[in-house]
Structure 1
Amino acid sequence: MSNERRPILGRGENLVEPITKSSGGGPKKYPRSYSEALELVTSNLKQLESEITKIPEEKRMNKIVVTVRLHEDFLAKSYTPETFFRNLNYENIGSRKWITDSGKESKMNFIKLDPNNIDNNIKTLTSFNTKSFKDDLRKIEEINILNVDETVLGFEESWDNGRVELVLHPFEETQLVLEKLYSLLDLTAEQRQKVKYKKYDNGPLFVSTIISKDKLKNVAEFNPLRTVHPLKVEVNSFSKDPFIVKVKEPVAPPIPTKKIGIIDGGVNLGNPFFSSYVTQNFEVASPPSNMFTQHGSNVASMALYGDLYGMKKDEQLMPPILGIESIRVFPTSDSDDIDLYESIDLIEEAVPKLKDVDVFNVSVGPIGNILDDDISRFTTALDQLSYDYKKLFTVAVGNTGSKPSPLNRIQSPADMVNGIGVGSYSINQGGDYSRAIYSSVGFGREGCKIKPDLCEHGGSTSRPLQVLNSDSFSMNNVMGTSFSAPVVAKKAAELMLKSKDVGVLTARALLTQNASNEIQEVNHELGYGACISRTDDILTCSKNKVTILYNNEMSVKNSAKLRIPLPQNSSAKKYKISWTIVSDTQPNPLFAEGYTSTALEDTFYPNENKFNYRLGKTSYARNIVHQSKEIQELKAKGFNQSTIQASSTPMKFASEADRRNEQKWDTVVKRSKVCLAKTLDYPFLTVHALDRETTKTRVRYSVAITVEALNYNGDLYDEIMNEYRVLQPINVQLENELRISNKF
């Protein structure tokens, strides 16, 4: 097969089988005794009762939202004090991260309670004698009302007035909550009509309105309020003076069969470079503006033609193989005050209707770094659309990378967990790349700590990108993450165009698997690294580097075994095995520190026949085929065999963000391991489906595993094909074949 094309291998799901894993862990150590906890909780409830009486009627509902703050050792979902909540009739309505006085990360739960019952709660605390209730009390550090400085987030001292986003806790009486909010803001009837809000099922109430600084403190004390932060949009990519267009439009172009969705300021459809390739069926009611149409057209130019920097004068462009569906979401009704909620409303209307568009790009968003304690409506909306309709969003991370921390952190909605946050790299004279100085940095939030996910060339002052303008006679030198993101969108859509075996999750897995960074190099500046240049290279293998796809779904709480097709008849001495796992998840904006409701936890097992034998804290790994005598001796001494084989999972990452926390709940996992052949015997991965605070029972996933035989003169691809006949090369049309068959 040495002279033939070698497509990556599909149907890896035929190598998947269910398994049962034992749950580990021992008894949990509690920070205080039950009697100490009882005294602490009693004191907190008495103080809480006093605090609630001081809340004015206009700043509260009949039920009050308070925080139950847990000890730092009890972050997991399984430690939520559900028995405490249930016995005292407290409704758990969300959670978010909480930094303790000692600087440790913990979490707070928001609960809704009837203040008239607190006195009775105090009296009945000692009547609950179950172990679960007593243990719940021992987890609690504080019970109190959220402080104003915990609700007002992201405002600079110079801020005087402007549009804000308020996130309110869920109440059944939505209209009554809004009426009280309007009264606190002292809004006229006309002003109330301009307020935009959105209530999601099982989610918070999001409100967009204009507010002044003197009203901010007043509304910050509104008990149903969870957070408030500034909400401002501007186009902050960089461009220089335009110059005369140097290229010619394609001749007799056919209409591409597959399109990318570009969510931006619109495209000039009268421009012959765009007219045959762009449609625009969804637009906000307000007329287009030159500034936003220019930005949208520049982004569309990158999506259709890429960087035109190296093109010669009068060189004719190749017809693009992908078209564009432009969704014009800017400017909104008042061009001086962009109301992002108008834009999101249109996005939520358009995306479900565009059934043939799988990939959407977003290169415009709100100003301001993401906040761990706060989930924006924009992020929530895109994550929900992605999950419900199986769409992929690529999002520019922002251009604040040169600002001091934390102002240089990525911007919403690049923090979405079901999409790809795209940063920019620049290229020096030697051809090496590094993060572009303007490109915003990670880390991301819980569920997507590695942000940006991927990087693309975004241009620099010394080596800009060149794009077509809105008009047909000029071009611009530009730079910015706005122009990196559509290139990643184009590559994702190309993968799906070139192979019907590649869906949204698989495209994301393949782009991540083939990104430039090795795992130990992952960092908060470049994420998984630079995107590979050609998608043809992603879809094909070399004779000794083979990629296998596993596309499947599984029930939550279950585990599955993914066999790695390592041929027994190969004489290779050393292998590198790398894998990327991507899943999608139902977003949960009520639980900021638990935003991903499902995830997959992976473990690598190099040898199917090697088990651990344990006695107390002593453990030995032994091979049941080659070390049976030693195993019998261990068993005679009382050693017990593990229920599953001995694992050898490498460290996930070695970045600063990852040293803070493992990415247990992330929707993307990328790892690799170099192994001597003699240590491998039917190796496999296991994936365990985790869930928290969700009614969803299934997890969709895609896995790309690459097996590379190092310094090997044989043909690993043929060896795998001969031994694992359940695998099949995926159907692929490479770019030249597409152009010939479609006469591009």
Structure 2
Amino acid sequence: MATTGNLLLGGGEKLTSKAPIKRGGGPKKMPYSRDEVVAALTEPLKEVQSHLAQVPREAKPRGEGVFELTLHPTFLARSHYPSKLLRAVGLRDVGSKERAIVPRKASEPRLEGKVHSTAALYVAGTLAAVQSLADNLANPKAPAYIQKELCEIESIAWISGGSKIRGQLPSGPERILFEIAIHADANEEDIVQAFNKYARLHEAEVDLARRIRVGGLTFMPVTATAAQIAKLSEFTFLRVARPMPALRMAIPDVVRQSLAHKNFALPSVPALEPKERVAIFDGGIGTSDLSKWATEYTWPDTTDTTGPNMMHGSEVTSTFLFGSPKDGLPLPPPYMGVDHYRVLSRTSGRDPDLFDVLLRIRQALDSGKYRYANLSLGPRMPIDDDEVHVWTATLDQLCATHDILTTVAVGNDGSAVNADRIQPPGDMVNALAIGACSSPGKTWNRAPYSCKGPGRSPGFVKPDGVAFGGTEDEPFRVYSPFLNGVAGVQGTSYSAPLVLRAAAGVQALIDTKLDAISLKALLVHHVDPAGKRPRAEVGWGRFRDNPLELLECGPSSATIIFRDTLAKGEYRRCPIPFPDIALSGNAKIKATFCIAAQTDPEHAINYTRSGMGITFRPRAGIGEDESAEFFGIGSQYKAPERELRDAAHKWETILHRDRRFDEIGVLAGPVFDVEYHARAQSRGVAPESAPDVSFALVVTLTVPGVSDLYNRVRQKYQVLQPVKLRTNVRVGT
């Protein structure tokens, strides 16, 4: 391939400095008076008390019920969380979800009558606590802080059992498997046991052995009839119940095509990077053809499997090892070896195996052995805006804890009616969700079967991007050990490992060790832009599968990577390396920012615990502190979504923007000022209790016509050094 020879410049963090950030704003304007709040909430509170009193004792552990308290959109931010009010009356929140509402009164006339996104809190408490809330509402002499937080409430409502049940239920007495989530963290085993006892009372069967706790939720399989699940929905701490989804892998009706391939041969050399292994979770390999690079692991109940499972698993592994074979060329050497975990059994797709599969994946990833993983399987169901699925919640926390770069196929139901949205765990915020596009050539679009976004917010831009996955007219070429040759296939199952292969290639080619967020930032930074294609269909754009293209700087440009860590309350000034020359013509700054975030799955609306406020100051070099929009909400959202949550983009884990500046004088020593936001269970947290957070920032400066821009940047910023290719790698090969 042709190359400039100019490689990614590392060490951007050596240019950073601490910098205070100017803050604006002031106190919030209260939309409601005390009298208006009393009028709006008095009767709903009485209804909550009435419903709670009627719930059977067995269905309300600790005597507590759970009801919904919706905040006015003005008070969605973590700093306005009504924690003092709840504590004062003896209530506690156990979760939250997003609600789009037209508030009774807007905080500003220009917003009147418009839809806004806000938080609906799940609030738990006894009858006495609800009565205390009612007493404070009626008391004009209640403490000022209580009256203030009462005026931040939009509505209060009891949560009916029927609203907790999702999906299509059987019409007769058939017993089926459900997945259940209840509000119970690791210290609330009494609630779990109370639910189990209540289920037995109604002759439903809870599989406690397979329960999975993540954050403030406990997930478990339950066998019940539709009538029994309706009874269980009255349990006050039950959050959601839905029929167990099937397990997805490849497109069911796709016929593999045997394709001719000139000069076909497996490589004879080991993986380029022998110290790293990639974890692939799939249906197995079942042959020795890949044993030079891949090791297969099984469980006692996965030793008996099926041909389709192993065919799918071996082809996914082959895609990671060799990519998509090019006709006339032998297969290239793998970048890294694979530990393939056969997580599927002969009965996979009928739970409780769906929970079993996740438990196997968790066991492998929680070992801390892996920095790379691929999932081309998952529950076959569209994601839910109100609820975080157990697969997503579990894997997000593992990726953040163990610094794992994970690629996830978003699913192949993109042509389904009312079921074409991305599928779990494709809504993970700490993984790359990969869709499929129709061609590796210049003209491409979303493959018709590739599931569409958006994701939830945070995590709105999903899929993160697409890669070639094949179509009927242009199938994806893959070496299939079972066919002993090249097959034509299609599916997001293949586009996902193709992207992970590019990331592994970057690490295998250079001496510098990059973490997951740095590799994610590089992958997103270098996508072929989405252009006019809908973001919900292709995310940021099409990922590149050649790792050298992720390391090179284009003509008249310089790309720099920053990697730094912040404590809450600290600020970083990241200067965009700019040469001291008079520039003519246009300039372009492309920037990609990435963090890994711990998560709170019980708070779907405030899912991520970490966020970054990034302020762009285009003329900081001459002492002008005025800011300009760069990573604003418009870089993530499109109308009408952008009208719902004005600050939601601050909690995203990936920010990406490519911005042109027509007048060079607009830029003079531009910088990004970075501020770390922290929250837990939707509340703001004190600096001393917030963990440090790491971020990666990739910046490309391009000035057309300045062919020596890269060298000028290096001369001015000598701490920036090109990444070093390994001695056995030659640029251009």
TM-score, with length taken from structure 2: 0.88
Task: Note if contact 1:456-1:485 (Cα within 8 Å) is conserved in structure 2.
Answer: yes
Aligned position for 2:543: 531
2:258 is aligned, of 226, 231, 243, to 243
Flag the 1:192–1:370 CA change in 2: closer, same or farther, 3 A. Answer: closer
Task: Note if contact 1:580-1:669 (Cα within 8 Å) is conserved in structure 2.
Answer: yes
Aligned position for 1:666: 652
Determine whether 1:715 maps to 2:678.
no
Deviation at 1:715, TM superposition (A): 0.3
Flag the 1:410–1:371 CA change in 2: closer, same or farther, 3 A. Answer: same
Determine whether 1:61 maps to 2:42.
no
- Deviates most, 475-484 or 364-373: 475-484
1:226 is aligned, of 215, 239, 256, to 239
DSSP 3-state at the match of 1:353: coil
Which structure 2 residues correspond to residues 465-476 of structure 1 after superposition, within 5 A? 465-471=476-482, 473=484, 475-476=486-487
Which structure 2 residues correspond to residues 635-714 of structure 1 after superposition, within 5 A? 644-649=625-630, 651-653=634-636, 655-656=638-639, 657-658=641-642, 660-661=644-645, 662-675=648-661, 676-693=663-680, 695-712=689-706, 714=707
Deviation at 1:178, TM superposition (A): 3.6
2:308 is aligned, of 281, 284, 291, to 291
Flag the 1:678–1:727 CA change in 2: closer, same or farther, 3 A. Answer: same
Counterparts of 1:557 and 1:131 in 2: how far apart (Å)?
Answer: 29
Which structure 2 residues correspond to residues 313-324 of structure 1 after superposition, within 5 A? 316-324=330-338
Flag the 1:369–1:602 CA change in 2: closer, same or farther, 3 A. Answer: same
Which structure 2 residues correspond to residues 240-639 of structure 1 after superposition, within 5 A? 240-241=255-256, 243=258, 246=261, 248-256=264-272, 257=274, 258-268=276-286, 270-272=287-289, 274-281=290-297, 283=299, 285-287=301-303, 288-308=305-325, 310-312=326-328, 316-331=330-345, 336-337=350-351, 339-353=353-367, 355=369, 357-405=370-418, 407-427=419-439, 431-471=442-482, 473=484, 475-499=486-510, 500-517=512-529, 523-569=535-581, 571-608=583-620
One-letter code of the match for 2:697? Answer: V
Counterparts of 1:594 and 1:128 in 2: how far apart (Å)?
Answer: 33
Deviation at 1:559, TM superposition (A): 2.5
1:737 is aligned, of 726, 730, 733, to 730
Counterparts of 1:371 and 1:458 in 2: how far apart (Å)?
Answer: 25
One-letter code of the match for 2:542? Answer: A
Counterparts of 1:502 and 1:546 in 2: how far apart (Å)?
Answer: 19
Aligned position for 2:160: 147
User: C-alpha root-mean-square deviation of aligned residues, in Å?
Assistant: 2.9
Deviation at 1:221, TM superposition (A): 1.8
The CA deviation string for residues 234-286 of structure 1, in whole angstroms up to 9 with x for no partner, is 33425314538857442533255133221111112x332x1211012354633
Deviation at 1:450, TM superposition (A): 0.3
Counterparts of 1:175 and 1:470 in 2: how far apart (Å)?
Answer: 51
Counterparts of 2:171 and 2:480 in 1: how far apart (Å)?
Answer: 35
Which structure 2 residues correspond to residues 78-117 of structure 1 after superposition, within 5 A? 78-100=79-101, 104-117=116-129
Task: Note if contact 2:136-2:142 (Cα within 8 Å) is conserved in structure 1.
Answer: no
Unaligned stretches of 5+ residues in structure 1: 612-622, 624-643
- Deviates most, 649-658 or 546-555: 649-658
Task: Note if contact 1:321-1:739 (Cα within 8 Å) is conserved in structure 2.
Answer: no
- Deviates most, 250-259 or 60-69: 250-259
Counterparts of 2:46 and 2:397 in 1: how far apart (Å)?
Answer: 40
DSSP 3-state at the match of 1:324: strand
Deviation at 1:205, TM superposition (A): 0.8
Counterparts of 1:418 and 1:244 in 2: how far apart (Å)?
Answer: 37
Deviation at 1:660, TM superposition (A): 4.6
Flag the 1:353–1:646 CA change in 2: closer, same or farther, 3 A. Answer: closer
One-letter code of the match for 2:664? Answer: A
Flag the 1:226–1:734 CA change in 2: closer, same or farther, 3 A. Answer: farther
Task: Note if contact 2:454-2:460 (Cα within 8 Å) is conserved in structure 1.
Answer: yes
Aligned position for 2:110: none
Deviation at 1:382, TM superposition (A): 1.0
Counterparts of 1:275 and 1:181 in 2: how far apart (Å)?
Answer: 46
One-letter code of the match for 2:244? Answer: L
Aligned position for 2:199: 184
Counterparts of 1:480 and 1:444 in 2: how far apart (Å)?
Answer: 20
Deviation at 1:544, TM superposition (A): 1.3
The CA deviation string for residues 272-312 of structure 1, in whole angstroms up to 9 with x for no partner, is 2x12110123546332322211111111121112223x425
Task: Note if contact 2:68-2:121 (Cα within 8 Å) is conserved in structure 1.
Answer: yes
DSSP 3-state at the match of 1:410: coil
Flag the 1:417–1:735 CA change in 2: closer, same or farther, 3 A. Answer: farther
The CA deviation string for residues 634-674 of structure 1, in whole angstroms up to 9 with x for no partner, is xxxxxxxxxx4333436414635445545231100001222
Flag the 1:31–1:242 CA change in 2: closer, same or farther, 3 A. Answer: same
Counterparts of 1:425 and 1:444 in 2: how far apart (Å)?
Answer: 18
One-letter code of the match for 1:218? Answer: K
The CA deviation string for residues 355-409 of structure 1, in whole angstroms up to 9 with x for no partner, is 2x3110000000110001111111011111111110011000111111234x111
Flag the 1:129–1:244 CA change in 2: closer, same or farther, 3 A. Answer: closer
- Deviates most, 209-218 or 678-687: 209-218
Aligned position for 2:49: 49
Identity value in percent: 25
One-letter code of the match for 1:473? Answer: N
